[in-house]
Structure 1
Amino acid sequence: MDYSRTKGGAALGARLRRVSEQIDRDATRVYASLGIEFEQRWFGVLNQLAINRTMTVSELAQTLLITRASVSQTRQSLEDAGLVISRDHPSDARQRNLSLTPKGRRLVDRLAALWQAMDAAARQVDEEAGFVVATLDRLEVALAGKSMFARITEQLANQDPILLSAKQPGAS
């Protein structure tokens, strides 16, 4: 029995994580089968640096819609692998400009055909699954309109206001 399937919308996060992990696992298998050392989390940063040449952590976070902390962790991993270099920003001492190293550029060039194949496969799966990307777009819009936090606390307020007030700072 697939417990998550039986829970419907209540298991939304678990189902999304499971699908994401499956996609990442398969991508990792492809890289490994080609003898390429590559971490799936690198893709967004490498791709953006290949397109834009130089970006700051903040610009990458904003473009990829992920946290600065996540970009910083990825940056560190890419620097450790010799694929990215960071330099002082010319006008903002708090920022660092990131760019591909020659090794990083060679890797991106080597991966271009693979990334095209991955994109084609992802489009094929999306179509086969009934254009789930459009559904994910609607999900993101719904969550931007009202977060899960707001929705859950609203439900708690309606169901058990005592539980909700007991957990508030300063409540006795």
Structure 2
Amino acid sequence: MDYTKSMGGAALGARLRRLSDAVDRDATRAYATLGITFEQRWFGVLNQLALNGPMTVSELAATLRITRASVSQTRQSLEEAGIVTTKDHPSDARQRHLVLSRTGTALIRRLRPLWQAMDAAALDVNAAAGDAAAALDRLEAVLTQQSMFDRIVEKLSDNGGNAKFRRAKS
């Protein structure tokens, strides 16, 4: 029996993590098959730099809708791998742009056909699943309206709840 599947919507987070892990594992296998050392977490940052040119950590975080801390960790890993470098921001001395290095530019050229194949495969999966992306859009909209945390606190309050959670929300 598949426990998480049997839980239905109650195991939403576990199911999303499991699916994300499966997709990431397959992507990692594809990179390895081509002899490319690549961390899946690099994709968003590298793709944005390839599409848009130099960007700041803040710009990348806003575009990718992830935390600045997450982008900073990815930046550090990409710098250690020699794939990106930083340069002074042209108009703001407090900021630095992330830029593809020569190695990074060569890597992007090599990855482009693979990324196109991955995009096509993802579109196939999305279509076969009856437009899963639309369901994810709806899920994201619902959580934007009210976070999971706020819903948990509300459910606790409905049941007499835990005073610590009621205080944390206020």
Q: Give the alignment of 1:150-169 within 5 angstroms.
A: 150-161=150-161, 163=162, 165-167=163-165
Q: Distance in 2 between matches of 1:169 and 1:149?
A: 13
Corresponding residue SS for 2:42: helix
Q: Give the alignment of 1:21-170 within 5 angstroms.
A: 21-161=21-161, 163=162, 165-167=163-165
What TM-score does the superposition give when structure 1 sets the normalisation length? 0.93
One-letter code of the match for 2:31?
Answer: Y
One-letter code of the match for 2:44?
Answer: G
Q: Distance in 2 between matches of 1:44 and 1:150?
A: 29
What TM-score does the superposition give when structure 2 sets the normalisation length? 0.94
Q: CA deviation at 1:93?
A: 3.3
On the 8 A contact 2:157/2:166 being kept in 1, the answer is no
Q: Distance in 1 between matches of 2:98 and 2:164?
A: 46
Task: Name structure 2 gaps, 5 residues minimum.
Answer: none
Identity of aligned residues (%): 64
Q: Distance in 2 between matches of 1:56 and 1:129?
A: 36
Corresponding residue SS for 2:55: strand
CA deviation map 1:12-64 (0-9, x unaligned) = 00000000000000000010011001111111111110111110000000000
Q: Distance in 2 between matches of 1:31 and 1:11?
A: 30
Cα root mean square deviation, aligned: 1.4
